[in-house]
Homo-oligomer: A and B are copies of this chain.
Amino acid sequence: MAVASHSSSLDRESVQAAHELIRPYIHRTPTLTNATLTALASTPQDPKKLAGTSWEGRTPAKPKLRLFFKCENFQRIGAFKCRGAFHAIERLKQDKEWLDGGGPEKGVVTHSSGNHAQALALAAATNNIPAYIVMPTISAPAKIAATKGYGAKVVFSGPTSTEREAAAAKIIEETGARLIPPYDHPHIVLGQGTLGLEFQQDAAALLAQEPSPLGGRPVFSILGTNAGIFGKGLDAILAPCGGGGMLSGVALSCEGTGIRVFGAEPWFQGADDAKRGYESGTRVESVKTLTIADGLRTPVGKVPWSIIYERRLVDGFFSVSEAEIRDALKLVLERFKLVIEPSAAVPLAVALFNEDFRSMVEREAGEQGWDLGIVFSGGNVGTDKLATLFDEQVAPKM
């Protein structure tokens, strides 16, 4: 990992400093509420739904949950990833050694077929820095086109991580470009964590402004203007966990605030690596899963792990089935009228369907309930993919 030539302390203050740096480049995405989903989260599940699960025969939990959603599906490039990418570039721009060594001409490189590719391409193009993106030849044509659309040079490789890393290493050797990894780096973690700061402010402001002075019902709010208001804020945040860059950044943003942070994962084909690692005490270093939550197929990185597990800034993990992810996604599309990618539906699936989580909330929060923040991490899903997910002939039954 060769990005950092000077390090950051991994704390809330550094997340705040990152926010100052990237604010001109990112959208302040809205924090939204939805009465239907809040009502559903606060209604016990039908006992029949627990049949065939480890909770079969249990009385469904009765948690009180008021949900708040941080809508990073509206972020630039359609996902939170541009926060980390812009922050990594801003930090390079402060790095005298990189500047003196001709860094801005040599460029940056990463290997990704997902949102990080587009995020780095955008951040580099904004700064007139060349970007090389290694993508597997099997990547979706739309993703390749989008990455090229930001002016990045796309270099193709084989699909395995070994092949991708080799291709990136070759580019570094030939061009001197700097590697910007997708999640396993302090600057990326701090950048992603900035969404947590906004979420805290905006949820607190929403809670303070209820009931609406207009008489009308508030559904939306942009809260940049209310950034000074603080009152009772969120009790907890549920965020999806793939490589853990965003989850660990959000955890840093909450340190010392009293807000508890939980990770959400699919369990299909062992995609719940963070949960297994957290509970066994050993980071799971490799995962091979084809979960529909395709942003969450990677194992947790070392830097995120040090925050999540070693410093215990994440309180625990919960996992859900493919069918639960699809059900949550369907609810968001049909009832919230928002497009999110399957990975982004995972925390909502936990809040609605995971009885371990729900009974924990019932037990710990009691009658008062929780104001729960849910991170909608991104919205990059094509209509072709949606058609496949919801075409009853095609969708796998799980």
Contact = CB atoms under 8 A, between A and B. Distances in A.
A30 interface: yes
Given A330-B383, A338-B337, A383-B333, A220 B24 contact: no
B27 A217 contact: yes
A221 interface: yes
Contacts of A382: 334
Interface stretch (A3-11, A257-265, A385-393): A385-393
Interface string A372-394: 00000001011110111111100
A28 interface: yes
A73 interface: yes
Contact of A387 (B26, B76, B215, B390): B390
Interface in A214-230: 214-222, 224-225
Nearest to A215: B24
B78 A23 contact: no
- Among A30, A216, A330, find the residue whose CB has the most chain B CB atoms closer than 10 A: A216
Contact of A337 (B78, B224, B330): B78
A382 to B, nearest CB: 6
B379 A337 contact: yes
Contact of A27 (B29, B219, B392): B219
A357 interface: no
A78 B336 CA distance: 9
Contacts of A381: 334
A392 B386 contact: no
Nearest to A384: B390
A353 interface: no
Contacts of A386: 333, 383, 386-387, 390
A23 B214 contact: yes
Contacts of A24: 215-216
Interface string A211-245: 01011111111101100000000000000000000
Given A27-B219, A219-B74, A390-B384, A333 B337 contact: no
A330 B338 CA distance: 13
B221 A222 contact: yes
Nearest to A216: B28
Interface in A343-398: 379, 381-384, 386-392
A330 B382 CA distance: 8
A94 to B, nearest CB: 18
Given A383-B330, A386-B333, A224 B214 contact: yes
A252 interface: no
A387 B385 CA distance: 9
A339 interface: yes
Given A386-B390, A390-B384, A391-B391, A28 B337 contact: no
Contact of A23 (B216, B330, B387): B216
A216 B224 contact: yes
A340 interface: yes
Given A220-B220, A337-B340, A338-B339, 13 more contacts: A24-B216, A27-B216, A27-B217, A74-B220, A76-B217, A214-B224, A216-B224, A333-B339, A383-B389, A384-B392, A386-B386, A387-B388, A388-B391
- Which 4 interchain pairs have the tightest Cβ spacing? A337-B379, A383-B390, A387-B390, A337-B339
